[in-house]
Structure 1
């Protein structure tokens, strides 16, 4: 029986169905033309048989499908994998376009209705409406915008397997789908669109999905920069413009108000060296250079277009004296622009910015300046010149012109500066400890820093931080590790001088567990001049990352002890008396399981709120959320609003990782929607939910008991079951993932197969590929069973009430609902057969099956659903429609794994495995 309700497609989703059919038909035609009729017929036969099996649960169809798949030649196998992989990618594009379509339909319905429709959840319009209804004052809202920070942080992802070449073609397909959707077409126009789709799909088919060589750090930087072209450069200014206009419509007091830039971009790509030996000072320098070049190239192009637009003649319009001065200073000698002061001013601004690009080492610009001009010394100088244009236009009857390209350029400059995105440094606390120990030992032999107690370490570090004298010496030799770490912070200091302090504003410490972990980084910053003891000044935020269950339980104590140090509080005052703390979702999940991770994160936030309040320090949380639920992913809006009251104090940073970046930000319409969701949720959580009361005590007690039970069940399986590590490596594609050319970072922190050393991303990705999705649910069934055994009469009713009334519990179960809907125990059982030891398999897989069944049964009972995803029919249909295309990929992956592991070294087998990994990831979407 199907776990997902097989409902019919509603009329509003007919366009989605039609788009998927169109793309599927063109893909089929492409396969027939390129590979022959026989290949097409096999693809179609597999598709129809798989659909028949899923629709009717026809066992004959299942056996027929297996027979077809098992009889394929190696070359044909890879053709089939490519076909179904591309279908998944194309279906994703159709779904993305449908989300845009539904958003536009809602907006247009509101515009044409007699009464405006209520704004949709997650929009800034709805957030402002709720704030207005709540009676929030203008001053309170103004104060929020004055200090707010909403920052998605892009990170490189070791399971992001798509190449930019394929993403570019997918973007082309998305644009054609949008064009077909937004205009009524003549037959010729429709034919031209379909021809465009055919060319794009043919190019995809003839382009390799996979990379032949492992990505370098700089390749990852360039991949990240592409999303600025797709979305951020244009859509971030649009979010601000819409918000300012909505505020003005809500209350005239906001007219002509320019909000501070609270929505900004961050990045780890090129600065995150935790476990990545390829992130060096040179990589950091190159990343910053590429970021800066990308930003200035955009500004130069926009200035060129702006000059073409502002052809205003000084004989017909008044122009401010400031603009006239800019025009006089311009090196533009053209007599054709003699009476066009705005154009002459802009060519001068362009020349100065081109000189700035040259000074920053960007090389030649796309269009040369008309003459020489002095470079800008700072972003503020450039902003000042653009503001002169803006003020003149507004003051002289051309205000609407200032609200076009110039408005967006000024906002882009304020957001992106000369650095584009704030690049965080990140390193593991163990590395800092070794480096600091060596520095002390070289300076004062016999210090034995690593042998000291925590109190003595803190005392020694504070003593050293109090003196302006450097601990390092140019006359001493240091280890390669220490030399590299010192070079990193010195490069960050150079970036501050070159691009401004916003270029590298943060230093994240992985596996932080003691106050000394923070002070060690302070010492390294001092060695680079980023911390100055005499003035109590610190130029970088030091951010501890608490990521294991034990670290989460102790993090409030660590921060309490840190804030009790007057010397640290003195430094913190130079950072606005604000401290950022990062919480790790991925590693806490791998350490303690889904339920316990979520609960310990929630409790940690409550305790941190209290500690920070007591010390008078502003709390800023950095959520290390991944793409999958097993790594803390899920809908961002619900996740932010599910935070405990007071956790979102106007500021939040969230990691955006890998395939989630492509899913959220490669389509500009979806990208703007996702940016707006982050801003709206932060606004609501800060002003409407900040003082919300704590959940009922019995809810908190119930969660504590459920978490304890789930933790025991999870740890008993993953860390206490003999042979489980081997079971994981043999029943998943983790070994093959580790060898796939999909990122610069190794799959494990250390050269071992221990689960403790494995990175959380491949851990989750491996379970997703075999369709078990274990990190997203394991332990829940056991926990609820134990709970209900103790309370057979009242236990279920209480859990149901928790689900209805508590946003945290709602979000937790909703995410689990999605993960379980994407799982498939029958397919997972076939992967378990890859385990060579029969007794090991029989000892573990039945436990997995029982827990999976119990988790689904108890989840449905608590949510009061008949089947998974009853409350999300669109996602249910999406998953149900994908299964017939995913199952053949899983089957073929299993067969290829058998061949490969038996010693078959054929390149087609290896390629087929890697292609199947890509296809399954595309079909599941947020899988790693």
Structure 2
């Protein structure tokens, strides 16, 4: 037996899976496209590997010569082959993570960081009993929120193919297959890869909002509907096994999955009241269909006969009320009860959706008034089984269904409303002026606006009148709020619980939404009731700096404080990572977010209001992404008060939640981190004063360097549009939302998501690191070696700073200045190119050098060998895609704009995004 390093032994199955999938893909290419195409792809692959792994510059010249000579048809074949290999590698890596996790559990290893087992172990070791943990869960809220955005490149059809391949790999790993079974698996794997190869990777039409709704709901089928109930069951069992006093107590449904899809109107004119209503109905249909399927299956399983076991009186009454009159089930009360429950869910389906479900009930019945009534009838079955010696039956499918009803209700996922404060401002101004032309809301200063808004909130009179005509914008906004009120009446208040205000500048922005909520009956001042959370979103650097002051002034208003009493004195605040990064750069964005949280913790404590933070994080580091566990634990003390919401965006949703086991692990990470950050956070919200001072200095220098490049350098906007694929991304059929908020090329108007995605495609990743090197250099020049020693101590002792550098480490490892230089050559103005790219190159070198010095690493990602190996294995398959993309962009922009060139560019965007994974 050959000797291997232990870590290499652990990765051997991963390498075997990648070789297997690569071989099957190669065979598919040979069979479908011919020997010549296969030989071409293989030549490129081997040259790229030789260059990357052995720094063979002759191989690089061969690679470039081969790629430069490709015909248009050959280009498409090469891009497809390397793109699909990236997708297959992702599948193999995900399966390997599952394999390693199972191996740890089978071996009885200590729970790993990020698991609920590890979090609970910490709690038990700290002497916490069931009472303290129950108190945490009673008020906890953990919600990942799915959002659609303009760089989601994954088609659902492609995702379905990938999941089929993942299931087949999983079967090979978990089961000892006979030769016949192995052959069947091999054939099925080849069929799945063939289907993937012949499935169109790109969309032919631009997505509608309802297409995005449908795509988002697919993750409930893949994972959420089943995995969330399993997570709760495992957590309850773990608590009960460790602490008998926990007994049969069931946890509140503290974790759910939210959505912006169908409610996020900020910059998306296609999200209307009608779309919101359709999205809600589609979600309700998904939830009710799931419940009916589960009840139907339960009915086939609970064939318990009354003569063999007792049943409770409540269960017998439920069975007697059932419309099931079959004599074959007359002595099977559980089945009859479930038939009755099915009939009531079917009636609810008809009442809410207006049409019959796919599988009809045996007879008509009364619909449920709400999910609580359904939960109570399922509880009757649970109590009867438990009381009559059939607890094992209650702990199976019934347990998971009861939890699903508690988590998903009839609405499936709460949809947040979001709109820009400028729109609310115009709408309120128009409403006021329509009834009193002398009152010019827009002409008022902030104090005047607040006074006018408070007057309206105190008045029982509504502003809007059916007899007056309004602009299309105002009609649309009023319709949205009225649709939200109708949703509350139809599906329950949990269906549309939040109104988020983009670009919140001051108190008036929040009160404007309160006035609009009043117009729709979502706020009833006479009753002192507010039915939605009004959530300010602070997203620019200036807004973050003002956030605590805005909330302090808001809470000082008795009228608003009174409304919070109907919200349990809880207030949510959203922090925007993406736009603050685009505005001020990676380092300053991270630091101002951290300081804003410290300020908010203090302001909320002074007013006796509970803070819930909603983190608008993206998938990439340039948009506040990175590992969720470390990010949550790196929050300042008091910022995570048992409650946290955070956005999950674009391609990150697929990588986290398409595979059921990966999904459960990611959900568990969020719950575990929230528990640990709440129960074990330092009592002081801020670290040592000298660390704060150091960060202030670093941030100021990084901000100056970033702003100087991006906003103060003549021609930078042109450089960006010519040196990246932003123009081509804007034309892709990958989302309902435009890439820019306005019809302009200004960076200020560009959405943060395509901004980051474009830099990732050309392998610079500029938003994830630019300015750090200059900042450290300036700090060191001022403070000498003592300054560098302080930065090293900060990295060692302060989780916020360590997480910041860890994320930067990952981004820099995925960047490649040599490849980036080829994108710079796309800039036609040589003087402009020479004025900007060398600055980026020099800052990149400074940043890498200073990062390694502070972290003590010899090379990037030395502290994360698993990711380092993954990136090293991916680069040989990414490099050809980048090279081909540049050549295609040259051709396209030189006027060769036929469909094959355009398709090749779009395919390369998809492949590079897959290879980088958290790219946008």
For Structure 1 versus Structure 2, the TM-score category normalised by the shorter chain is over 0.9
| Aligned-partner Cα distance in 2 for 1:67–1:8 | 39
Specify the alignment match of 2:58 in structure 1.
Answer: 60
Query: Per the alignment, do residues 83 and 9 of structure 1 end up closer, same or farther by CA in structure 2, a change over 3 Å counting?
Result: farther
Could you tell me how far 1:364 is from its partner in structure 2? 2.5
TM-score w.r.t. length of structure 1: 0.98
Of 541, 552, 557, the match for 1:565: 557
CA-CA distance at 1:690 after TM superposition: 5.2
* Cα distance in structure 2, aligned partners of 1:122 and 1:438: 50
1:153 is paired with a residue whose SS is: strand
Select the residue among 68, 73, 76 that pairs with 1:75.
73
The equivalences for 1:591-630 within 5 A come to 591-630=583-622
Partner of 1:401: 393
What residue in structure 2 maps to residue 16 of structure 1? 14
Aligned to 1:487: 479
Q: Match of 1:472?
A: 464
Which SS does the other structure have where 1:175 is aligned? helix
The offset of 1:692, in angstroms, is 5.0
- Give the superposed CA RMSD: 1.0
* 1:736 corresponding residue in structure 2: 728
Alpha-carbon spacing, 1:271–1:231, altered in 2? closer, same or farther (3 Å): same
Q: Is residue 256 of structure 1 aligned with residue 248 of structure 2?
A: yes
Task: Quote the residue 2:418 is aligned against.
Answer: 426
2:302 corresponds to which residue?
A: 310
Question: In the TM superposition, what whole-angstrom CA distance separates every residue of 1:91-137 from its partner, at most 9, and x where no partner exists?
Answer: 00000000101100110010xxxxxx321101111111101111224
Match of 1:197 among 189, 202, 222: 189
Are the aligned partners of 2:598 and 2:685 in contact in 1 as well (CA < 8 Å)? Answer: no
Alpha-carbon offset, residue 792 of structure 1: 2.0
Counterparts in 2 of 1:275-674, with a 5 A limit? 275-361=267-353, 363-674=355-666
Q: Cα deviations across residues 595-616 of structure 1 (Å, max 9, x unaligned)? A: 0000000000000000000000
Q: Deviations over 1:383-433 (max 9, x none)?
A: 110000000000011011100000000000000000000100000000001
Deviation readout 1:485-543 (Å, 9 max, x if unpaired): 00000000000000000000000000001000000000000000000011111000000
SS at match of 2:785: coil
**Regions of 4+ moved over 6 Å:** none
Q: CA deviation at 1:71?
A: 1.0
Residue aligned with 1:72, SS: coil
The answer to whether the 8 Å contact 2:203/2:734 transfers is yes
Task: Give the conservation status (yes or no) of the 8 Å contact 1:293–1:362.
Answer: no
Contact 1:647/1:690, CA 8 A, preserved across alignment = no
Indicate which of 87, 90, 99 corresponds to 2:88: 90
Structure 1 residue corresponding to 2:835, chosen from 812, 837, 843: 843
Deviates more, 1:798-807 or 1:358-367: 358-367
> Over residues 825-875 of structure 1, what are the superposed CA-to-partner deviations in whole Å (9 max), with x where a residue is unaligned?
000000000001000000000000000000000000000000000011111
Displacement, 1:367?
Answer: 1.4
Aligned counterparts of 2:249 and 2:836: Cα–Cα separation in 1: 62
Q: Distance in 2 between matches of 1:891 and 1:522?
A: 53
Matched residue of 2:353: which SS? coil
Whole-angstrom CA distance in 2 between matches of 1:745 and 1:197: 36
Counterparts of 1:297 and 1:752 in 2: how far apart (Å)? 45
User: Match for residue 4 of structure 1?
Assistant: none
SS in 2 for 1:261: coil
Quote the offset at 1:645 in angstroms.
0.5
* Contact persistence 2:638–2:685 (CA under 8 A): no
Q: Structure 1 residue 863 and structure 2 residue 855: aligned?
A: yes
Residue 693 of structure 1 deviates from its aligned partner by: 6.1
The Cα of 1:443 is off from its aligned counterpart by 1.1
Partners of 2:536 and 2:128 in 1: CA distance: 34
For the residue of structure 2 that corresponds to 1:792, the secondary structure is helix
Aligned to 1:41: 39
Which of the numbers 169, 178, 191 marks the counterpart of 1:186? 178
In structure 1, C-alpha distance between the alignment counterparts of 2:221 and 2:877, rounded to whole Å: 32
Tell me the secondary structure at the aligned position of residue 793 of structure 1. helix
Contact 2:598 2:686 in 1 (8 A): no
Say if 2:119 and 2:676, in contact at 8 Å, map to a contact too: yes
Are 1:648 and 1:690, in contact at CA under 8 Å, matched by a contact in 2?
no
Preserved contact between residue 419 and residue 502 of structure 2 (Cα < 8 Å): yes
Cα distance, 1:259–1:9 mapped onto 2, change above 3 Å: closer
Contact between 1:740 and 1:914, CA under 8 Å: does it hold in 2?
yes
Q: Which residue of 1 aligns with 2:770?
A: 778
> Residue 826 of structure 2 aligns to a residue in which SS?
coil
| Correspondence 1:158 to 2:121 | no
Is 1:913 paired with 2:905?
yes
- Which residue of the partner structure matches residue 3 of structure 1? none
Deviation of 1:265 (Å): 1.2
- Where do 5+ consecutive residues of structure 1 fail to align? 1-6, 111-116
CA distance in 2, matches of 1:176, 1:872: 29
Structure 1 counterpart SS, 2:536: strand
SS at match of 1:507: strand
Q: Give the counterpart of 1:794 among 780, 786, 807.
A: 786
Q: Does structure 2 retain, via aligned residues, the 8 Å contact 1:317–1:396?
A: yes
Counterpart of 1:879 in structure 2 is 871
Q: SS of 1:10's equivalent?
A: helix
For 2:153 and 2:221, the matched residues in 1 are separated by 20
In 2, the alpha carbon distance for the partners of 1:878 and 1:39 equals: 27
Partner SS, residue 795 of structure 2:
helix
**Is the 1:161–1:742 Cα contact (8 Å) retained in structure 2?**
yes
1:207: which partner in 2? 199
Which is worse superposed, 287-296 or 157-166? Answer: 157-166
Take 1:432 and 1:260, find their aligned partners in 2: how far apart are those partners? 36
Q: 1:642 to 1:56 in 2, by over 3 A?
A: same
> Is contact 2:151-2:734 (8 Å) kept?
yes
Q: For residue 446 of structure 1, report the CA deviation from its aligned partner.
A: 2.4
Normalising to structure 2: TM-score of the pair?
0.99
Alpha-carbon separation, structure 2, partners of 1:883 and 1:8: 24
